Chains A and B, each alone.
Chain A
Amino acid sequence: MSDMKFTEDHEWARDEGDDVVVVGITDYAQEQLGELVFVELPEIGSDVSQGDEAAVVESVKAAGEVKSPVSGSIIEVNESLVESPGIVNTDPTGDGWFYKVKMADRSELDGLLDEQSYKDFVAELD
């Protein structure tokens, strides 16, 4: 788990090597949203900037956006979420990933929270 980085908006980013990063939302985020009913994914080939809205999530009670933790180009999206958004609830940091991005600037990762810092951040919220 040590290769994961986090944002204060409850996204995670995992470095897969070759400047590729996988992005998803944290367990805390999925729990706050409740059971997801809809996920809108970015288009493959589109560019995202750090902090920009890259995907949309909806439960029956809330709507939210997934802000990209890093800048880059979208190279793959998790199509299975379209049919089964509930995967995000059951496995947010595994099968519930959203998209893969080819990073434009590796150093952006350094600015994100590490696991312990994120845990501390969430603990403060409750």
Chain B
Amino acid sequence: MDDTRPPLSELEMRGDFIRRHIGPGDRQIAEMLAELGLGSIAELIDRAVPASIRSDRPLDLAAAKSERATVTYLRRMRERNRIFISMIGMGYYGTVIPAVIKRNVLENPGWYTAYTPYQAEVAQGRLEVLLNFQQVVMDLTGMELANASLLDEATAAAEAMAMAKRVSKSRSSRFFVSDDCHPQTIALVKTRARRLGFEVVVGDAFGAAQDTDCFGLLLQYPGSSGEVRDIRPIIERAHADQAIVSVATDLLALTTLAPPGELGADIVVGSAQRFGVPMGYGGPHAAFFATRDGFRRSVPGRIIGVSVDSAGRPALRMALQTREQHIRREKATSNICTSQVLLAVLAALYAVYHGPDGLRTIAGRVHRMTLILAEGLRRLGYDVVNDAFFDTITVRVPGQARRIAARARESRINLRIVDSDHLGISFDETTRRSNLQALWQVFDTRAPSKIGIDELDGVVEECVPDPLRRRSSFLTHPVFERYHSETLMLRYLRRLQTKDIALDRAMIPLGSCTMKLNGTTEMLPVTYRQFSALHPFAPLDQVQGYQQLIEELEEMLCEITGFDAISMQPNAGSQGEYAGLLCIRQYHESRGEAARDVCLIPSSAHGTNPASAHMAGLEVIVIDCDEQGNIDVDELRAKAEQHRKRLAALMITYPSTHGVFEERVKEICQIVHDNGGQVYLDGANLNALVGICRAADLGADVAHINLHKTFAIPHGGGGPGMGPIGVRSHLAPFLPDHPVVDGVNPAAAAAGTIGAVSAAPWGSAGILPISWAYIAMMGGPGLRRATEIAILNANYIAHRLDPHYPVLYRGEHGMVAHECIIDLRDIRHACDITVDDVAKRLVDYGFHAPTMSWPVADTMMIEPTESEAKREIDRFCDAMIAIRREIADIESGKADAHNNLLRNAPHTHHLLLDGEWPHPYSKEQAFFPLAALAEDKYWPPVGRIDNVYGDRHLVCSCPPIESYQDDV
């Protein structure tokens, strides 16, 4: 018995979350330090992090809160958000997420902690749902091909413009946008067009468009005003002029309206939000992008395709990956990297849950309610502007729009104030009879309290003209009929989930992806109604909880990064890069230096860097790296001086993509500044810096912060992400603003900001509580501790694996940063075993592979994060070392050069059923190479997937039902 009495404050365990978040306990930390021959964490940091960049100034953040206190605080914050019934429309609608999907997918780490499905063999579950998503979009839009989600509808429209320019034969550089598109869509298209050198003409598609020579048009169907018009004449005319027609649309409306594909559209975009994805004060949601088959190679974003596995069975994978920026680099036409997998999954499952009849019923109800509303308003003497509509009407209220909208708010209803004379009203799945009565009373306080809804229902007539009503069937694939009972749905979801490896099963050691713990307490507020059920354009006095959250998170991030201002708008890291570069360009212009258009990028940079630079209208000049993976400073200086007059920016990742703290980073930033350029810091590796060094102190002027890496937002199986940017004060006037919501950038320059880069004012605000909670529960010392242990874990892995797989890059004192790159090039030369083979063999050991062949071919990049305990890291290293022994047998000739454990990996259960065992090694070696696997064996559902077959025979719709027979 220890007689010392701990003080009460210690018994209160306020910082208890820190040890829940950080994997290794004190004893494990001591063991790892001893292995590394280090006496303390301080010594580790001393050797790993250059003294020149370290800051000993502790982070000035509030003391760590307990999980319980955090929940209490967030609950108080949410009370400051007031949920009104949203009838604002404009691309965001009330929706009901089926409870079975909410609990088993949205709130389930088996789904939300998975990574992007690059390792397709361990991602068949969500790939199947993403294929369903594509099928939903293809069916409803009437197009031949759809991708598996973009960031938001406005971004999708901007991507449609860029693609139209690529595929159109027109020589015009003009893009026509219908004035009946959502205002945020128009704003974003303008932002994008400016640096691509396109002229945007906004006008009446049924008037001005006729005389406009353009390479493409963007229409909205139904329009932002709610109007449903026949767009066929516009499309025919545009096609005669070789223009490409993009149509922004609404999936629910398309269950009752003729699909744009049947009307002749070339590209169809929109948001899948109202398919069971909460509004979340702006996001995240999945946008869709559909087009003709002939344009398949020009489609931005990720496409899921059907291929076959090593045994010829159907298997799913991401197709046409070579279009992505990490391969195309400077030639990339889009910087879209992450998609919105979790949200696309929710939307697809919503369609599976309801099926075509259910969706038709919901759409029919929404439409009928709108018809009844319009008829009631007409009877009250109001002029409903629309001739034909689905769920949205515009009402003429001369001079009274604000008064009536205020009266609506009194009944807790938000209407859209179009202008002083017009109000917009949008209905959705959540609209009830009582809302109709309330609205009529709002418009006419003397309205009889009971206008007979059933009576009106009997007399209202369909307003959509016959040719625009949907005749074609949709969602005819059996998957949309099978799971309507909750029992079957529950089992379908579990079956899918079981196919995938997520963080609930094993560590995911992906380099530069920071797959850390996504704490349950951090995730709780995501589904609080007061956070999830808010429209992004709701009046600010109803969303003070969110405003508080955003302001507090901005302050936290400023303190952590050293920047002066933050913009939450970019909803992915790549969008942060793009927004940051736009700020830099506008800054130069504001100083009369518009000629600065050269962007220096190290050869080791992530592919999104050059792609973003290209989109910002910058010319990319590549800087080489030396053998240690560091930027060649002499070359940088030479090129910076050579382009002194034109230098706009340097994009740099720190620690470098090679996982090393470059000693000369400050000197590098200084060279760029001396030559008139600005420094953009790619924050992908921020997890190695938090609490140890501040990005702004390195010399960066702007950086993006991947909240989904460093600040605990889960990867969602390939999205959502969040990429807010921090800037020093001289760039703050140029940060994004928003066309609908005022004051998004309080420091906005009089001459204007860069405009909008996301559809919603604060990006995917719905997931910001996660990062807020993470920082609140870690506090300053906890965050620093996390960084230290992330570096310790990486160095421990490097130390354990180096004798088996040489570690490629190290810093000056032989240490790596928070990740390490191991070299497999010699193995390939010796016996033709590739990183692919090792990655697939890891599946047999129950692991997701590290990052492959990036940033150096035939290597693996491993990032354990601070959240993995020593035991899990050892389990991973044991697997890697065991695989190295298997490779040695191939090298020595003991194992066959072709028919061996690696080449045949992963091994599926089918091998046990398909006749005789076909391999020269035992079943035990194939399936249970380590004794520990007997405890928890992952069985891959498919063998190695044939990538070549998949790309040569692209199929991105649901395969016929026979291929699902395994499941039945």
Measuring CB to CB, which residues of chain A are less than 8 angstroms from any residue of chain B? 35, 37-38, 58-63, 85-86
Contact = CB atoms under 8 A, between A and B. Distances in A.
Nearest to B297: A38
Interface string B317-346: 000011100011001000000000000000
B309 interface: no
Contacts of B331: 63
B321 A60 contact: yes
A37 B328 contact: no
A86 B322 contact: no
Nearest to A84: B952
A85 B322 CA distance: 15
A58 B322 CA distance: 7
Contacts of A62: 322, 327
Contacts of B952: 37, 85-86
B948 A37 contact: yes
16 contacts: A35-B948, A37-B322, A37-B951, A38-B297, A38-B951, A58-B951, A59-B948, A60-B947, A60-B951, A61-B322, A61-B327, A61-B853, A62-B322, A63-B322, A63-B323, A85-B952
Interface in B439-470: none
Contacts of B328: 63
Interface in B923-968: 947-948, 951-952
Contact of A63 (B327, B853, B947): B327
Contacts of A59: 322, 948
A108 to B, nearest CB: 25
Given A58-B322, A61-B327, A86-B952, 16 more contacts: A35-B948, A37-B948, A37-B951, A37-B952, A38-B322, A59-B948, A60-B321, A60-B322, A60-B947, A60-B948, A60-B951, A62-B322, A63-B322, A63-B327, A63-B328, A85-B952
Nearest to B327: A63
A85 B952 CA distance: 8
A101 B323 CA distance: 28
Contacts of B297: 38
Nearest to B328: A63
Contacts of B321: 60
Contacts of B327: 61-63
B460 to A, nearest CB: 53
A86 B952 CA distance: 9
Q: Which of A58, A60, A86 has the most CB of B within 10 A?
A: A60
Interface string B620-664: 000000000000000000000000000000000000000000000
A77 B297 CA distance: 20
A60 B305 CA distance: 13
Contacts of A86: 952
B418 to A, nearest CB: 46
Interface string B648-687: 0000000000000000000000000000000000000000
Nearest to A83: B952
B169 to A, nearest CB: 11
A98 B680 CA distance: 42
A9 B948 CA distance: 24
A62 B327 CA distance: 6
A44 to B, nearest CB: 16
Contacts of A60: 321-322, 947-948, 951
B903 to A, nearest CB: 16
Nearest to B321: A60
B295 to A, nearest CB: 13
A81 to B, nearest CB: 12
B597 to A, nearest CB: 23
Contacts of B947: 60
Interface in B846-870: 853
A60 B947 CA distance: 6
A37 B327 CA distance: 15
Nearest to A89: B948
A95 B948 CA distance: 20
B168 to A, nearest CB: 15
A105 B309 CA distance: 50
Which 3 A/B pairs are nearest by Cβ-Cβ distance? A37-B951, A60-B947, A63-B322
A86 B297 CA distance: 18
Interface in B677-736: none
Interface in B403-426: none
B644 to A, nearest CB: 29
A92 B331 CA distance: 25
A63 B323 CA distance: 8
B332 to A, nearest CB: 10
A38 B853 CA distance: 22
Nearest to B952: A37
Contacts of B323: 63
A35 B951 CA distance: 10
A38 B952 CA distance: 7
A86 B323 CA distance: 19
B419 to A, nearest CB: 48
A60 B853 CA distance: 13
B826 to A, nearest CB: 14
B485 to A, nearest CB: 40
B53 to A, nearest CB: 36
A63 B947 CA distance: 15
Contacts of B322: 37-38, 58-63
Contacts of A58: 322, 951
Nearest to B331: A63
Nearest to B329: A63
Contacts of B948: 35, 37, 59-60
A34 to B, nearest CB: 8
B610 to A, nearest CB: 14
Contacts of A37: 322, 948, 951-952
Contacts of A61: 322, 327, 853
Q: Which of B321, B323, B327, B948 has the most CB of A within 10 A?
A: B948
Contacts of A38: 297, 322, 951
A86 to B, nearest CB: 7
A61 B857 CA distance: 11
Nearest to B296: A38
B933 to A, nearest CB: 30
Nearest to A34: B948
B311 to A, nearest CB: 19
A58 B954 CA distance: 14
Contacts of A63: 322-323, 327-328, 331
A26 B328 CA distance: 22
A85 B853 CA distance: 25
A87 to B, nearest CB: 12
B895 to A, nearest CB: 24
B679 to A, nearest CB: 30
Nearest to B857: A61
B512 to A, nearest CB: 19
A89 to B, nearest CB: 10
B957 to A, nearest CB: 19
Q: Which of A35, A37, A38, A58 has the most CB of B within 10 A?
A: A37
B642 to A, nearest CB: 23
B107 to A, nearest CB: 36
A113 B951 CA distance: 34
A37 B323 CA distance: 12
A35 B327 CA distance: 16
Nearest to A37: B951
Contacts of A85: 952
A60 to B, nearest CB: 4
A125 to B, nearest CB: 14
A86 B948 CA distance: 10
Nearest to B829: A126
